[in-house]
Amino acid sequence: MFPSTGTVGAAALARQLGSWKPDGGTGPARRAPRPAYLALAEALRLLVLDGRVPVGTALPSERALAAHLEVSRTTVTAAYAELRDSGHLQSRQGARSVLTLPHAVPAEPADTGPEADLIRLNIAAPSAPDQIVHDGYRHALECAPPYLAGIGLYPGGVRALRESIAQRYRDRGLPTTEDQVLVTSGAQHALRIVLDTLVHPGDRVLVEQPTHHGTILALRRHNARPVAVGLHPEHGWDLDQVEAVVKQQNPRIIFTIPDFHNPTGLLLDEAGRRRLGEISARYRVPVVVDETMAELALDAPAPPPVAAFAPRGARIITIGSASKTIWAGLRVGWIRTENSPDALTAARHDMDLAGAVFEQLAAGYALDHLADFLPGRLDALRAGRAVALDAVTEHLPGATVSPGVGGLCLWVTLPRPVGTATAAAAAGLGVRIAAGSAFGVDGVLERNIRIPYSLPPDQLRRAIELVGAAYRRATGGASVPDLERQLVV
C-alpha cells in the first residue's frame, strides 16, 4: 500500500477536476461521447501526473464524490477501478483508496511503452544531436585512462567539464573560474541541492507564476511554501511587485527563469537583471536563477547572466543544464556561485556522492562544440514554432500566444478556462499535453495550455489539430462566436 500523504475532500476534488465530463460535439458530425467513467478516470490521472494532487493522496469515498460531481456512484466506482487497473490507485479493505504511480518500468526505448500511441506534447525537450553525442562519448573513452586509475568519484564534478562551463560563462560576459562551478545530475538535481542547503521546511520561496512545473514539485517535496508573483503574458516581470512581496513576506530565496522563460518564452532585459541584483543585495535574499534555456535564442540573444549585473552584497546562484541545449539523456547540470560552492558540494556528496564521469566528459565535449550544432538546432526550432503558431491559429481560433522570443514552447491562453478539461480530452484523442494549472502554485491558470514545438513538424501539426478538437469537446463544441454570444447574455 502506498503511504498516504493526506486526504482530499469530495468538494475540493470536484473543483480540481473542473469541466471533465465528455461531450460528443454538435452538428452533423456529432460523435458518441466517451464513457463518463473513462473521462473521469483520465481527469483524475492527469491531476496526479500534473502534480496538482500529490501522489499518496487518499481520495474521497465513491458515494461522496458521486454526489459532488452529480453522477451515479456506478460511474465513480468504474473510474476508480480503471485507475486501479492502470496502476494509479491502490485500495485495501477498510481504508480510503490512495493515488499512486505505476511501478512497472516501460519498455525501452520509451516510445514503445504503454503510451506508445500518444503524441507526447507535454515534454519540452529536443532529441539528441546524434553526431555530437557520438563524438562526445568517443572523446570520453579516449580521455578515460587517467580517470580509471582512481575511484572515479568527483563530488564537485570533473575538472574538464567545470572549465568548459566556466568558459561558457566567460563567453557570455560573466567572469568565472572552474572553482565557482559545481556539476550536478541535471537542473532539477541542482535545485534540490540548493533547497537542501538554504531552505528549511516551511520557509517561503518566491516564484514567478507561471513557472516550471518541476520547480513547483521540488518545493512541495521540500515542504517549502511557494509565494507566487504573477508574470504578465506579454510584458513579463513586475519587479516592483517582486520587491513589495520580498518586503512583506521575507522569502528565504527568490527563484526566477529570466532566459526564455519556461513556459512563456519571455526574456528579462538588462535593467530587470540589474534590479534583481539590487533586490538581492538590499534585502539579503539569495536569487536562484534557472538558465537552462539561455542558449535557445530564436529572435533576440539573451543579455549577460543576472550575476553579471549583481552589485556588492547580492547573492546570485545560477543553475544550468545540458538537457534543453544538448540532450536530456546526458543528465548533466551545474550550479555557479560567486564564491567556491563548498556547502553545496558537501550537500551533493551527502546526497549521491558524485556524478558519472563518462557523461561529464561527453557533456564537456558537446559544450565546447556548441557552434557545430546549435545554429541548426535553432533553425529547426524556429521552423517548429512557425508550424505551431499556424496550427494554433487554425485549430484554436480565439486563442492568444505569449510573445516569447526563445525557448521550446508556446504559452497559449484559451478563450475559456478549460485547460484541464482540454488536456483530459486530448489524452482521449491520443495527445498528452500539460494544462496551464500544472505551472501555477494553486492550480490556477485554467485558461492556459503549454505547447512545445520540439516535435517533428508533421507530428506537431497533427497534435495541435487534436488539441483543437479536444478544446471543442471540453467546451461542448461551441464555436468562438457562439461563446461570445453566451458571454454577452
Residues 61 and 42 placed together within one structural domain of the fold: yes
pLDDT at 351: 83
Same domain, 36 and 183: no
Is the pLDDT assigned to residue 326 strictly greater than 60? Answer: yes
Domain boundary among 370, 401, 421: 370
Rounded to the nearest 10 degrees, what angle do helices 36-49 and 73-86 cross at? 50
CA angle 17, 58, 75 (to 5 degrees): 50
Place of cell 578515460: 144
Confidence of residue 399 (pLDDT cuts 50, 70, 90): very high
| Residue 110 placed within a domain | no
Q: What is the CATH number of the domain that holds 77?
A: 1.10.10.10
Q: What is the pLDDT of residues 175-193, one digit of tens each?
A: 999 999 999 999 999 999 9
**166 phi and psi, to 5 degrees?**
-60, -40
Is residue 151 included in any domain, yes or no? yes
Are both 404 and 341 inside the same structural domain?
no
Whether residue 143 is found in the same domain as residue 90: no
CATH number reported for the structural domain that contains residue 217 in this entry: 3.40.640.10
Is the bond leading into 109 cis (omega within 30 degrees of zero)? Answer: yes
Is the pLDDT at 112 greater than 60? The verdict is no
Distance separating alpha carbons of residues 28 and 135, to the nearest angstrom = 56
DSSP characters for 393-456?
HHHSTT-EE----BSSEEEEE-SSS-HHHHHHHHHHHTEE-EEGGGGSTTS--TTEEEEE--S-
pLDDT at 106 over 60: no
> Does one domain contain both 317 and 384?
no
CB of 438 closer than 8 Å to CB of 419:
no
- The predicted structure's pLDDT at residue 4: 46
Contact 376, 397 (CB under 8 A): no
Any domain includes 283: yes
Shared domain check, 324 and 204: yes
Question: Does one domain contain both 183 and 288?
Answer: yes
Q: Are residues 291 and 247 in the same domain?
A: yes
Mean pLDDT confidence for 344-368: 88
- Domain-located, residue 178: yes
Domain boundary among 370, 390, 413: 370
Based on the fold, state whether residues 309 and 441 are members of the same structural domain. Answer: no
- Does 483 fall in a domain? no
Q: Is residue 275 located within the same domain as residue 179?
A: yes
Q: What is the mean pLDDT of residues 30-37?
A: 69
- 469 within domain boundaries: yes
Q: How confident is the model at residue 90 (pLDDT cuts 50, 70, 90)?
A: confident
| pLDDT(110) > 80 | no
Please state, in angstroms and rounded to a whole number, the distance separating the CA atoms of residues 337 and 305: 12
- Residue 189 shares a structural domain with residue 304: yes
Domain final residue, candidates 345, 370, 395: 370
Same domain, 187 and 319: yes
Number of domains into which the chain is organized: 3
CATH number at residue 435: 3.90.1150.10
pTM > 0.85: yes or no: no
Question: Domain for residue 484, yes or no?
Answer: no
pLDDT at residue 233, rounded to an integer: 83
- Residue 312 pLDDT > 70: yes
pLDDT digits (tens, 9 = 90+) for 464-476: 999 999 999 999 8
Containing domain of residue 402, as a range?
Answer: 119-125+373-475
Q: Is residue 485 part of a domain?
A: no
